[in-house]
Chain A
């Protein structure tokens, strides 16, 4: 039976090999052993406080580690268990409030932090088990809605927690302030001394991260991890192959919740105060974005996604950086969309010419419609001011331009042939106008718009995320 004519020799398999070869660069990351990746990452992070004592940078490093923890925790539930959990941030909040209640002047309880962390993990896991119960009957979108509801319950409880049956538990909208800093068996670690951020917090977060990452990695490479992924792929088949799917779902929820809760405790120890609005839906969506960008199901991907998204978001607070990102993103998008590629140069050149003409016309009609940069400004600023129309008092023109841009983008994507080229030039110019007059002035909104654009771009070119291990859906 082993020796037979080779009927139906699978070309599929052969081609799959080729495919893997083609993405060798990205797959090379897969071949580096897990521990080596972890060590490299840790060395890099640990070196940052040694290089700079800039408090702003160091806090970003700490927060990035917090997000890394959140992302690898969410990866257990969503990436391995395949359970869409929209209540995830509630567990982060539960951990933070647990730390705040057990380690502050609020009730005058001051437990040592390692003990509080253990309580955070156990308490979070228990609540996770409870929240996981609906997953026995619900899947997909339905489970997502129910867990979102759990999140809402959490927010309701903490915002109204200043009068829970006559007890002030959470301080309501005012939250809990003056939380103790991390306390190692009586030896407190101050958040800052002499106004400089205490980099021990980075090492603390890094330590927690390493332990959690390694633990999750080991669980994933065991029968439980395999069963989780089998459950994600096909619940019925997993059950029929002898895996107790109900229990595995609860376990996945408990793991995710425990990691989020622990992270919450760590977060609270640095932030000195916890408030309901720290646990917003935006935070949930950001963590999901990190996981999806990095590749759902890949632990390294989750970390990569967390670092990329958070550093990106922070960098975009600076309008200069975000301007560069905006223009580079547009050129990249054109390179992706326009065929043949040399047409990109044509379109860009036409846009530049178009811009100077419009600028000259606007300047000729009314002086206040344009701005002239001072001669000391750098060349980029001078070019932009000579090219983009920047009215001194924009008024309603900003709103009109914004709406017009949306209309033009729709037009440019619907029309065909030569009309598309004609529509593209004013669209690009209007985009620059909107950027310089509207978006660059509101970095808080803009950075999320740009993050969205980046996600769309990555998802189009690599649907499974940077290091995603899920490659096909059930066919």
Chain B
């Protein structure tokens, strides 16, 4: 269960990074005028993704043992 939650945390972080990156990078934009992020605070989402991905270490070590 511990490993599962750790991988889930990493996955959430990576997904947020991908959404944040492509939300803020103007790939495919028609010109410089349309190069703003596709949605507000998309760059912040990327940063949150990086932070969540590294939080996986906290989840792995701090998650309490299952009670028997």
Q: Are A and B part of the same complex?
A: no
